[in-house]
Amino acid sequence: MRDDADAFEEAGARVALIGLGSAEQAALFCERREIPFDCLVQPDRSAHKAFGLRRGTWNQTVGPAVWVPWLKDQVTGKPQGAFGQGDVAQLPGTFVVDTEGRVRYAFRSRRSSEIPTNEEVLEALERVREAR
């Protein structure tokens, strides 16, 4: 998302990353990766639970199906990573929530390496904008 920060801003989005761990770990994560968005933490997984994000199995978090995308991200210079010492089995998700608090797009990852493309999220933002 970082690489398309301008496109998200133009779409009227306010992007926030929510991770597990401490505030210090989140700040370091965002600083090292030059993340231009809000980086928030909630160590009790309350946001993850509220959005229906599950904890993954070994295969979903570190198994072979995760290795290939992870290696690709490393090679292309877009490494994925967690904020810190949180629950390594927690699966990620991506959501578009409108200004009234309704979830208009939900992507719940089935593997820790699975994330939607920026284009897919930007299309969801456009649909929200068109619906207004």
Q: Does domain 2-131 have CATH number 3.40.30.10?
A: yes
Residue 45 backbone class (left: φ over 0; alpha: ψ -120 to 50; beta: rest) = left
| DSSP track, 36-99 | -SEEEE-TT-HHHHHTTPPBP-HHHHTSHHHHHHHHHHHHTT-----SSSS-TTBPPEEEEE-T
pLDDT at residue 74 greater than cutoff 80: no
Q: How confident is the model at residue 84 (pLDDT cuts 50, 70, 90)?
A: very low
pLDDT, tens digit, for every residue of 37-59? 988 888 888 999 999 999 999 88
Global pTM exceeds 0.85:
no
Query: Where do the structural domains in the chain lie, given as residue ranges?
Result: 2-131
